[in-house]
Structure 1
Amino acid sequence: MIVRRERASDHDAVRTLVRAAFARDPATGTERAPEDVVEAGLLDELREDPGFLPHLSLVAVTDDEISGHVIATRGWLEPTGEPVLGLGPLGVLPGAQRRGIGTVLVHAVLAVAEAADESLVALVGEPAYYRRFDFRPATELGIAAPDPAWGGYFQARWLVEPRTGGTFRFAEPFTRH
């Protein structure tokens, strides 16, 4: 497996991958039709948003096939407006899940973010999964979720010495999904 930046020529394969990876609604567990997978539309919108950071959109390639994708986009801490990152979606082809591809992608995107002098990464995801990457409930770090109902699923990780917290704001496309 190799991990590299996503290319424009990868978009169709990544869209197909995300539709397959999120075919089961994470919140309800029900099966969704490909056109109902909101994460695929979100990803397309994130690529067009001013918060898109091409160096933080990565793919995993296994046997010449894209097997996973992760993206981090520009977010902000309010009220200061400090630029930070929002991670997600992270997707792996169903047949390739539980083989470490997602883990490798998260480590890679965090390494690139840290090398780019980013300060904080936040996400909405399963605490048991993201704990291995040192994510914690954001409230423990002084970071408030855009939606308090997210509770412990809204997590964050400082990449630098912790600074003053605030309320996290994702890139604009997240507000529409």
Structure 2
Amino acid sequence: MRSDRHFTFKAKRDYLHSTSLFDDLVAFRGASPRQIDFRFSHKTGKQVSYLDTLPGPADVLVAEWSDADGRLYVVERNEPIREAVGYDEAALVSRFALDGRTVHIPAELGGFSRIDALVAGFKHLLQQVSPLDAGRKHAFVRIRLAHVPEGATSITYARDIGAFSQGDILEDGKLLGQIFFGIWT
């Protein structure tokens, strides 16, 4: 199976945002996916396709998705993303509360998706507790979730693993999964 997808940039970004891809994959998989493992491995400004078989040697792998129902590979197509939509990350982040090494994300997100909040929340937390030098920035690389949360969540900065940072995601006080960021230079 090959499914060509169509994406837009978020705000002034010139790359496919991981949250756009995640939300589309959730919709594509239908019914609430379980045991999600989503890895974003290649920054791209191109449209993508989903494959349910291993990519070929000529394919550029952008991301991998697995859940209780199987695996999908996200590969580039030779078609640039040409459109952009508004995205006010600062407005989203203003809804969060920081408490030491934890960011609290409310149930109500004002039109933003849950993955928007998880990624923006952990990035905001990292910027506060582990600021980087100019020219380097925190970048989403992976999330593992038992399911997509529906309500209030929190993320605690758990540890660093080499150049990666891990956050533990809790929903109703129970561990739901982990989020990982790396450093882009």
TM-score between the two structures when normalised by the length of structure 1: 0.27
Structure with the higher fraction of residues in helix conformation: 1
Larger Rg: 2
TM-score between the two structures when normalised by the length of structure 2: 0.26
